[in-house]
Amino acid sequence: MSPTTNDAGSHSSARETTEGTVYTVTGGDWDEIVQSAAKADDERIVVNMGPQHPSTHGVLRLILEIDGETVTEARCGIGYLHTGIEKNLEFRNWTQGTTFVTRMDYLTPFFNETAYCLGVEKLLGITDQIPDRATVVRVLLMELNRLSSHLVCIATGGMELGATTIMIYGFRDRELILDIFELITGLRMNHAFVRPGGLAQDLPPGAVDQLREFVKTMKKNLPEYDKLATGNPIFKARMQDVGYLDLSGCMALGATGPILRSTGLPHDLRKSDPYCGYETYEFDVPTTETCDSYGRFLIRLEEMRQSLRIVEQCLERLEPGPVMVADKKIAWPAQLAMGPDGLGNSLDHIRNIMGTSMEALIHHFKLVTEGFRVPAGQAYAAVESPKGELGVHVVSDGGTRPYRVHFRDPSFTNLQAMAAMCEGGQVADVIVAVASIDPVMGGVDR
């Protein structure tokens, strides 16, 4: 071993020989280099958490470099659920687009549909012509959807912490909401119910009564989450100061939703840039100043209470009226009715079209097969989804199909914060931090 000195700085490399470790050293103090080499920890390893892992929210792959139990570097690997939905939209007409976008973030289908339809309606210039009843039902469905999404977040997050009772309660209450969705749209998920110009159909008989019953039940059930978790010392210890991200971090990474509001900033598009008449509803924007996973849990819990307030206001505002724009060149000309196949066109409506005039029949055929034309241009519409700002940028070349549709999905943007939240913490805390982001991979891999 031959130490030499070099003013340019120190460098040390080692190789194993039959006589032991041999160091080749240039520069620096010999004793210091030997000490630092002795301290070098060879226990640093890289592990894959996912994409098939019970704690990684769908097919999310986390690449973690760990030193013992401490995470020194964290990265996300995405792309395991690519659906090509945004590309598919370019090969379908504007109305068919709702069938695709509803499947993006599959836990928040009504937000995807409404954001897309608001963008299309901006391009058509019919934003002010949407019937009031259709707008109220959109708000009603979105707030119910906010409840169901937060329930899944709290339920799965609790399960990952080992709090299985929270999981059972969360899915129990979500089931009540999915029953209502099935009553109104015919489907539990992936509804394609919100359409450009309004809705696919009106609320069915009995829906309002079931909604009122649901509000009563939820008001009784929500305090159970407080009793189980909010003041629970084990639950708090597991979540407090975990997944920390302050306001400057949120601003740098573009994080929105409960992550941003847990820093104390009450940013909510329903207040700051209202749509669907949200400025006329009374509700509060809950915030905390903890910047951690526990604060995000508290925010989601309070947002559910606020959503119930909005649902009650919607039920009071439901006045009889149309649910589709009056312009027959845009309005989907179907009047749906329950048939032997479960759901279909009303036979009376078909007889009326076929027996009244050849022009009406041709128009019906053209509108359904080819679709309506949307003036050339581009528009951006954004809604406050349960996870943050969900924006859609729609571009038309004047045809019956979108030229381009791009979604700014909050799950995708918020996942950037994963490294900032996890590096320097424990491996077990990675699960808590990711659960507090609440990513859904359907929205990430579009």
Q: Strand 194-195 relative to strand 70-77: parallel, antiparallel, unpaired?
A: unpaired
Single-letter amino acid, residue 154: I
Average pLDDT, the chain: 85
The residue type of 31 is: D
Q: How far apart are CA 443 and CA 446, in angstroms?
A: 6
E-state strands within 331-439: 336-337, 344-345, 377-385, 388-396, 404-408
Look up tokens 């032997």; give the residue.
340
pLDDT tens readout for residues 47-101: 888 777 666 667 888 888 888 888 888 888 888 888 889 999 999 999 999 999 9
Which of the four pLDDT bands, split at 50, 70 and 90, describes residue 1? very low
* Integer Cα distance of 333 and 78 in angstroms: 41
Average pLDDT over residues 236-261: 91
Q: How would you label 190-222 residue by residue, b for 16+ Cβ within 10 Å and e otherwise? A: bbbbbbbbbbbbbbeeebeebbeebbeebeeeb
Residue type, 27: G
- The pTM score is 0.85
9 or 308, which is more confident? 308
Burial of 358 (0-12, 13-18, 19+ CB in 10 A): exposed
Q: Which of 166, 145, 169, 445 is nearest to 304 (CA)?
A: 145
pLDDT above 50: residue 2: no
Q: 14 and 21 in contact (C-beta within 8 Å)?
A: yes
Q: Which range (38-42, 180-184, 294-298) has the least confidence?
A: 38-42
Helical residues (DSSP H) of 25-84, grouped into ranges: 30-39
Tokens describing residue 215: 């509000």
